């Protein structure tokens, strides 16, 4: 009886001590996933998600207060990558993915005010005062921050056209088959 | 090969591939015909792997057959020439011969009916030219790989010079069922093809050429053997008929007995693979100064009234070709290329391009439908796969959205030959799954690159803003200092003046 | 301009290949059933009407179980039933039952096979274990007496063979009706040897007796409904190999892995070990090797894996027969190897072109 009590006490003490050391030694001060998630995010800090920048959104996703579908510019691809990173499964077919969009300027109504140029997080808009501005397609992340800044509504978001080079085979649709004997 | 490898090889001999009904005859035996010149040709600017060619003609301009319409643009590209004489009617989008049905840019040519050749200069002896000059002329003629991959041939020849090629492998396998354009070419133009092979040997510096021809084409083997007589450096090598024997790596293995390492090329092993049609195009380019403006296309399938091989100018519509051979019934499916790897055509108003080996009008009976049932793990696909993959495992993972899992099973080694879908008793569209996954992965890769580029731009902007602010602050500080200095000087001066005044 | 915006392709582009070899799951199942037919018909003839009734009941309840599961899941039953897999499962189970077993044995087994062993796992292609063998083992453990009541052959048309009505009484009435005919009860060779050995009687004495069961490759012996005729089963199996339905790897490996240890054991101690022929030709060895272990769903993908799998099935069968508590071990052996199949598949993948077995790119040959 005494032996059992002693041995169990000893065992508990040793294991508890081990756990305590492990907790100290392997302590993770910040959630390592935040940095990993932030690395996946577009990084343009456009604010469409409602969080303070991409790092804020990454922290929210890591602690679970935001869903992986929170980032509109990232779209389906990002949602899938985040879900894979977090080891969760989501049904991407429900995610409204209108396809990537980028900003375009209606040149006939652009007055060259430079407001959009200042707003753009990736410096994708070029133009000087009183000159017509232009969007560099390659640099635009489609965050849409410039739209509201334009006093003449010359800015609009346009879907990126699908080209032969970027077309992707859709996933096969599986419907229950009608088997036959032939 | 280690001992364990040998043991496994003994247990599982390489039974790769499938033996589909070849449906090659009677189309292969019908004499070669020429398509009557259509009124309009739609010549795409992108008929090759790489960047689209850049048009150098204007709408309304008159051009002659063989005249350069668009020049190569960038490192990997190919020139495009006029397939007949006439007027440039438009430069704009046409539907691509691609399952997506998306448009791509093309030059529309209104034929004048004369089919008059441009003066392309006088031919010189190609063997007197230095090899780089041969490659340059091949590039100028817009020759691309005619086996279907459409890689610019001149680049491949140049690669040969750089990589010290000792063997040229000429692919006359034509393992795709229904197709016989290479068969017909070797039968009718054996001398020209052999001459093209000799020019390519000269251009690459290779010592020997092995011409692999599937043994279901005895006439082509006989014609090529006769034409190659007297050239000891060219060997005609019949290979067993088995799909996909025409795959570059598999033909290489069949002829040399070694495997191309994964992620590598045949050039790493000193061999360069070219299609027989390419050899013919090289001959035309060097001996006759003729650019690649037409090709032999097999028109076949149960719905075709008079199947056979047709010489078609690049840019002719599938509609024109089908009208020429006649249709017995409304085809259930139109395919460009062979039935195993060819692509579904969205409709008939798509142009024939340099890489179009065949046009198939298949009946509902011929065209396989996919009404997939559950996988019964019969592993037919595993035995059929010429690469040694597990298609059933890959497709199951892709169906559940686990693309990384599919990659772990070797998705990137898949050559999309179609053997697995061909044999699957559950009719699972395996190749479709793999196409989808490869496309998704490529799109993810592009998105990743874009993300990284955006991040660099954001960082650059932050740095610029900081620099602007710093500079502004510096300027402000300097001004302040200057103002203070000026004030001090002023004060000093006024003090001096006042002291002067007081004294 | 010819961009008449492709309405055809925009709908759903079809990927290559645009040709098919022509096989279908239902066709595969049909061919397997055709290969099973000779041995089954022989069993019907050998054991008469009760066997036919039992077969019908088992198959019917297997189909009912499948249909019930599908309806519960809200799916249409008929298209799935048409693939033939449930019918084949019921059929194989029936062949492994004592021919004069009561109807509830077949009914319970059929339902168990399709509902528990197949549909609960996710249906065709998803089950880890062979459904027919799961059901057989479940029955054997739950109803050991009913599952080991063997009858001596009483061919149709012979004197004393039950007619249609009497056969129905035997099947529906169960043991009670059968006990009137105690003359027909018999033992199998494996069962007899095991029982006598456990009583301390060695094989020399137990097999010398007047009523001792003998070996009969043709199948005129006591045993399960469709397992007795080794010759007819082997013929069906070889036909399947020639039709390309199965490969020789699993059957050969399994039979060899039974025969070789059996021959060694017999040579070492003939008093305690039956010879190789008795092991291979009696019990479920033949049916197991050609029809049970070769089940696509529950066997490995590669040829090498199939050799390992078959050898494992065979060796375990011999081990269970020799040292286990049951006289027959094929069902247990197959189920144990089924559990190992995912591991075998993981370890013995085919070699990818241009790579070594570990998936690294090959070194270019010098």
User: Are residues A105 and A80 part of one domain?
Assistant: no
What does the CA dihedral C310, C316, C319, C325 come to, rounded to 10 degrees?
Answer: -140
B404 in reach of chain A (CB within 8 A) = yes
The boundaries of the domain holding residue A110 are 101-159
Considering only alpha carbons, which residue of chain C is nearest residue A168?
C13
A42 in reach of chain B (CB within 8 A) = yes
Q: Is residue C363 part of a domain?
A: no
Q: Is residue C62 part of a domain?
A: yes
User: Are residues A110 and A73 part of one domain?
Assistant: no
Nearest to C23 among B90, B379, B423 (CB): B423
Q: Are C292 and C133 in contact (CB under 8 A)?
A: yes
Nearest to C2 among B95, B250, B423 (CB): B95
| Complex ipTM over 0.95 | no
The interface residues of chain B toward chain C in range 3-32, judged by CB-CB distance below 8 A, are: 4-5, 8, 11-12, 18, 20
C24 in reach of chain A (CB within 8 A) = yes
Residue B1 has pLDDT above 50, yes or no: no
Contacts of B100 in chain A (CB under 8 A): 162, 164, 167
Q: DSSP assignment, residue C113?
A: I
Contacts of B92 in chain C (CB under 8 A): 1
User: Are residues A143 and A116 part of one domain?
Assistant: yes
Q: Is residue A117 part of a domain?
A: yes
Find the mean pLDDT for residues B458-486: 90
Q: Is residue A82 part of a domain?
A: yes
Contact residues for B110 (Cβ-Cβ < 8 A; gap 6+): B39, B40, B86, B87, B88, B89
- Phi/psi zone of residue C164: left (φ > 0), alpha (ψ -120 to 50 degrees), beta? alpha
- Please tell me whether residue B210 adopts helix, strand or coil conformation: strand
- CB pair distance less than 8 Å for B264 and C21: no
Residue pairs between chains A and C whose CB atoms are closer than 8 Å: 28
- pLDDT value at residue B331: 94
Q: Is residue A107 part of a domain?
A: yes
Contacts of B443 in chain A (CB under 8 A): 77, 166, 168
Find the mean pLDDT for residues B362-370: 84
Considering only alpha carbons, which residue of chain B is nearest residue A137?
B450
Q: Which of A166-180, B201-215, C113-127 has the lowest mean pLDDT?
A: A166-180
User: Are residues A85 and A105 part of one domain?
Assistant: no
C10 in reach of chain A (CB within 8 A) = no
Q: Is residue A95 part of a domain?
A: no
Distance from CA of C249 to the nearest CA of A (A): 28
How many CB atoms sit inside 10 A of residue C7's CB? 10
Q: How many domains does the structure of chain C reveal?
A: 1
Contacts of B432 in chain C (CB under 8 A): 14-15
Contacts of C30 in chain A (CB under 8 A): 181
Residue B238 has pLDDT above 90, yes or no: yes
C27 in reach of chain A (CB within 8 A) = yes
Q: Is residue C16 part of a domain?
A: no
Q: Please list, residue by residue across B246-262, b when 16 or more beta carbons sit within 10 angstroms of its beta carbon and e when fewer do.
A: bbbbbbbbbbbeebbbb
Q: Is residue C255 part of a domain?
A: yes
Residue B187 has pLDDT above 60, yes or no: yes
- Tokens describing residue B64: 């002659």
Q: Is residue C218 part of a domain?
A: yes
Nearest to A179 among C12, C13, C82 (CB): C82
Gyration radius (Cα) of chain A, Å: 26
Q: Is residue C2 part of a domain?
A: no
Find the mean pLDDT for residues B6-18: 67
Considering only alpha carbons, which residue of chain C is nearest residue B388?
C352
- pLDDT value at residue A97: 57
Considering only alpha carbons, which residue of chain A is nearest residue C83?
A179
Q: How confident is the model at residue B9 (pLDDT cuts 50, 70, 90)?
A: low
Give the Cα separation of B134 and B121 in Å (integer). Answer: 15
Q: Out of A49, A68, A89, pick the residue that ends a domain.
A: A89
Report the percent of chain A where pLDDT is more than 70. Answer: 88
Q: Is residue C359 part of a domain?
A: no
- pLDDT value at residue A63: 81
- CB pair distance less than 8 Å for C17 and B422: yes
Q: Is residue A49 part of a domain?
A: yes
Q: Out of A89, A114, A129, pick the residue that ends a domain.
A: A89
Q: Is residue A167 part of a domain?
A: no
Nearest to A179 among C15, C25, C75 (CB): C25
**Distance set, CA C3 to CA B96, B101, C239 (Å):** 9, 9, 55
B35-87 pLDDT, tens digit per residue, is 999 999 999 999 999 999 999 999 999 999 999 999 999 889 999 999 999 99
Pick from A128-132, B71-75, B336-340, C194-198 the range whose average pLDDT is largest. B336-340
- pLDDT value at residue C1: 36
Distance from CA of A176 to the nearest CA of C (A): 9
Distance from CA of B211 to the nearest CA of C (A): 22
A26-84 pLDDT, tens digit per residue, is 876 666 778 888 877 877 777 777 787 788 888 888 888 888 888 877 777 778 778 87
C242 in reach of chain B (CB within 8 A) = no
Q: Which residues of chain C have pLDDT under 70?
A: 1-11, 174-185, 209-211, 364-366
B386-433 pLDDT, tens digit per residue, is 999 999 999 999 998 888 899 999 999 999 999 999 999 999 999 999
- CATH value at residue A85: 1.10.15.40
- CB pair distance less than 8 Å for C26 and A176: no
The interface residues of chain C toward chain B in range 149-208, judged by CB-CB distance below 8 A, are: none
- CATH value at residue A132: 3.30.70.20
- CB pair distance less than 8 Å for C27 and A181: yes
Find the mean pLDDT for residues B119-144: 90
Domains, chain B, ranges and CATH? Answer: 1-30+125-290 (3.40.50.11540), 34-120+296-367 (no CATH), 375-489 (1.10.1060)
Nearest to B455 among A43, A89, A164 (CB): A43
How many CB atoms sit inside 10 A of residue C157's CB? 9
Which chains neighbour A (Cβ–Cβ under 8 Å, 3 or more pairs)?
A: B, C
Q: Are strands B167-172 and B208-214 parallel, antiparallel or unpaired?
A: parallel
Mutate to test the interface with B, among C1, C6, C8, C17 (most CBs of B within 10 A): C17
Q: How many domains does the structure of chain A reveal?
A: 2
Q: Is residue C241 part of a domain?
A: yes
The boundaries of the domain holding residue C271 are 25-347
Residue A182 has pLDDT above 60, yes or no: no
- pLDDT value at residue A96: 53
- pLDDT value at residue C327: 86
């Amino acid at each position: 009886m005494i032996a059992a009590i002693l041995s169990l006490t000893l065992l508990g003490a040793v294991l508890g001590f081990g756990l305590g050391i492990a907790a100290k030694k392997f302590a993770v001060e910040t959630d390592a996933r935040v940095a990993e998630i932030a690395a996946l995010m577009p990084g343009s800090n456009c604010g469409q998600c409602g969080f303070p920048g991409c790092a804020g959104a990454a922290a929210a996703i890591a602690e679970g207060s935001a869903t992986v579908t929170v980032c509109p510019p990232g779209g389906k691809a990002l949602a899938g990558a985040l879900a894979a990173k977090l080891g969760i499964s989501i049904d991407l077919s429900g995610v409204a993915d209108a396809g990537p969009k980028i900003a375009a300027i209606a040149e006939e109504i652009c007055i060259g005010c430079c407001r959009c140029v200042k707003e753009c997080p990736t410096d994708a808009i070029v133009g000087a005062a009183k000159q017509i501005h232009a969007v560099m397609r390659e640099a635009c992340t489609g965050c849409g921050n410039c739209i509201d800044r334009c006093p003449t509504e010359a800015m609009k978001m346009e879907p990126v056209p699908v080209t032969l080079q970027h077309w992707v085979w859709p996933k096969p649709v599986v419907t229950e088959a009608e088997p036959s004997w032939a | 090969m280690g001992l364990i490898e040998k043991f496994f090889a003994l247990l599982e001999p390489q039974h790769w591939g499938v033996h589909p009904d070849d449906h090659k005859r009677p189309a292969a035996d019908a004499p070669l015909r020429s398509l009557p010149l259509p009124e309009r040709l739609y010549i795409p600017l992108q008929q090759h792997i790489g960047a689209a060619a850049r048009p150098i003609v204007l709408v309304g301009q008159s051009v002659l057959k063989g005249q350069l319409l668009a020049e190569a643009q960038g490192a990997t590209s190919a020139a495009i020439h006029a397939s007949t004489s006439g007027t440039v009617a438009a430069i704009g989008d046409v539907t691509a011969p691609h399952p997506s049905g998306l448009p791509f840019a093309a030059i529309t040519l209104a034929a004048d009916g004369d089919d008059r050749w441009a003066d392309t200069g006088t031919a010189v002896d190609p063997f007197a030219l230095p090899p780089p000059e041969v490659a340059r002329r091949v590039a100028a003629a817009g020759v691309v790989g005619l086996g279907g991959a459409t890689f610019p041939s001149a680049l491949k020849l140049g690669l040969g010079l750089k990589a010290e090629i000792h063997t040229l492998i000429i692919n006359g396998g034509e393992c795709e069922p229904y197709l016989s354009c290479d068969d017909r070419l070797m039968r009718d133009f054996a001398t020209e093809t052999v001459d093209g092979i000799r020019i390519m040997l000269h251009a690459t510096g290779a010592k020997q050429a092995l011409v692999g021809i599937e043994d279901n084409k005895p006439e082509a083997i006989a014609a090529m053997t006769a034409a190659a007589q007297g050239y000891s450096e060219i060997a005609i090598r019949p290979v067993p008929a088995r799909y996909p024997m025409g795959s570059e790596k598999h033909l290489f293995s069949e002829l040399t007995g070694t495997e191309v390492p994964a992620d590598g090329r045949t050039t790493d092993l000193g061999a360069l693979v070219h299609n027989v049609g390419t050899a013919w195009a090289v001959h035309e380019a060097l001996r006759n100064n003729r650019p690649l403006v037409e090709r032999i296309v097999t028109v076949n399938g149960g719905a075709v009234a008079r199947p056979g091989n047709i010489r078609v100018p690049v840019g002719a519509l599938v509609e024109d070709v089908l009208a020429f051979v006649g249709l017995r019934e409304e085809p259930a499916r139109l395919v460009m290329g062979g039935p195993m790897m060819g692509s579904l055509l969205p409709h008939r108003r798509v142009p024939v391009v340099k890489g179009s080996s065949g046009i198939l009008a298949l009946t509902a009976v011929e065209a396989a439908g996919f009404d997939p049932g559950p996988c019964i793990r019969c592993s037919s696909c595993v035995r059929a796969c010429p690469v040694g993959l597990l298609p059933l495992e890959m497709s199951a993972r892709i169906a559940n959205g686990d693309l990384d899992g599919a990659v772990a099973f070797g998705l990137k080694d898949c050559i999309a030959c179609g053997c697995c879908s061909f044999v699957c008793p559950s009719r699972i569209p395996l190749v479709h799954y793999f196409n989808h996954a490869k496309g998704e992965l490529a799109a993810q890769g592009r998105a990743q690159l874009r993300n990284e580029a955006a991040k660099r731009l954001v960082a650059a902007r932050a740095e610029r803003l900081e620099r602007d602010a710093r500079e502004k602050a510096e300027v402000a500080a300097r001004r302040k200092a200057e103002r203070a200095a000026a004030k001090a000087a002023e004060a000093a001066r006024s003090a001096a003046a006042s002291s002067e005044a007081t004294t | 301009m010819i961009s008449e915006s492709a309405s055809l392709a925009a709908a759903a582009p079809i990927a290559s290949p645009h040709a098919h070899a022509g096989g279908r799951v239902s066709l595969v199942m049909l061919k397997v059933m055709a290969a099973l037919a000779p041995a089954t018909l022989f069993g019907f003839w050998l054991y008469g009407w009760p066997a036919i009734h039992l077969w019908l009941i088992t198959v019917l309840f297997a189909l009912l179980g499948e249909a019930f599961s599908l309806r519960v899941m809200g799916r249409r039953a008929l298209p799935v039933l048409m693939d033939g897999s449930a019918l084949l499962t019921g059929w194989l189970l029936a062949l492994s039952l004592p021919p004069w077993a009561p109807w509830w044995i077949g009914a319970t087994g059929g339902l168990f096979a399709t509902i528990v062993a197949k549909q609960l796992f996710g249906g065709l292609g998803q089950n880890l274990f062979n459904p027919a063998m799961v059901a057989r083992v479940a029955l054997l453990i739950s109803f050991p007496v009913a599952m080991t009541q063997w009858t001596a052959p009483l061919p149709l048309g012979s004197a004393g063979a039950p007619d249609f009505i009497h056969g129905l009484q035997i099947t529906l009435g169960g043991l009670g009706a059968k006990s009137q005919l105690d003359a027909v009860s018999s033992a199998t060779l494996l069962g007899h040897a095991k029982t006598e050995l456990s009583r301390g009687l060695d094989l020399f004495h137990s097999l010398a007796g007047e009523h001792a069961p003998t070996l009969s490759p043709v199948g005129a012996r006591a045993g399960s409904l469709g397992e007795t005729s080794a010759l007819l089963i082997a013929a069906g199996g070889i036909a399947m190999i020639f039709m390309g339905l199965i490969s020789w790897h699993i059957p050969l490996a399994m039979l060899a892995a039974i025969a070789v240890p059996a021959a060694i054991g017999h040579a070492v101690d003939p008093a305690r070990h039956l010879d190789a022929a008795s092991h291979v030709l009696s019990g479920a060895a033949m049916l197991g090797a050609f029809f049970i272990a070769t089940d696509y769903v529950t066997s490995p993908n590669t040829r090498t894996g199939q050799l390992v799998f078959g050898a494992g099935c065979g060796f375990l069968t011999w081990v269970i027969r020799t040292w286990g508590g049951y006289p027959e071990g094929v069902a247990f052996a197959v189920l144990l190897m089924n559990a190992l199949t995912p591991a075998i598949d993981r370890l013995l993948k085919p070699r990818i072109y241009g790579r070594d077995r570990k998936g690294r790119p090959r070194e270019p040959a010098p």
